[in-house]
Amino acid sequence: MPPWCIYFHPMDRLTTKQLRVLNYLRQYQRDNGMPPTRAEIARDLGFASPNAAQQHLATLARKGAIELTGGRSRGIRVPEPAEPAITPIEPLRADDLLDLPVVGRVAAGAPLLAVENLESTHTLSPRLFSRRPDYLLRVVGESMRDAGIWDGDLLAVAKTAEARDGQIIVARVDDEVTVKRFVRRGQTVVLEPANPDFDPIEVDLATEALAVEGIACGVIRGIG
């Protein structure tokens, strides 16, 4: 896994609220040596009733994040995460979260974050990424497959106009937006794919325009 990539595996397709409940369960069990009751979950997380807490628990169990034992007030088993980078251990707070717009196909000549390019918004913690992202770009095609960026993934991008050798960037070349690895060779920039089936893009800075739109700082897979 590239160091800047974060993946949501199928059983980790949790909403922000579900992650908050899961993190609370883990922390409560560490602190008390046993899981909480539904009433304690509702009280500590501000739910309207124990029934609301039960609904979240049932969803977490269905997604494979916890196990429930019927007929017991504390019948909750919470496995510790095998990969801490996937799920933050500390409970999330509302002011930790980012509302990140999802950029789909980019209209020719339009700014990347123009309204017509936006599909939706996802609320995520910045702690999931190697640096604070500004938006999510939906990946189209397999040119970066061997870097762990697949067709349909959401690429987390931090806005910047500068890039260093070896960074995976979002670039605009001749009004086309592309995701490639940035390599500088004097007055030439090579945008290298991570798939041998694709050719690199060479840009002569003396005669051609290249705009760096941002740096990749994470990959999300498994959410729409």
Amino acid occupying residue 27: Q
Residue 180 annotated among the catalytic residues of the structure = yes
Of the candidates 63, 120, 143, 159, the residue annotated as catalytic is 143
DSSP-assigned letters across all residues of 180-219: EEEEEETTEEEEE-SSTTS--EEEETTTS-EEEEEEEEEE
Token look-up 């599909």 returns 119
Of the candidates 73, 130, 159, 180, the residue annotated as catalytic is 180
Helix (H, G, I), strand (E, B) or coil at 48: coil
Residue 130 annotated among the catalytic residues of the structure = no
Q: Classify the C-alpha dihedral 36-95-135-129 as positive or negative.
A: negative
CA distance 156 to 17: 21
Active site members: 143, 180
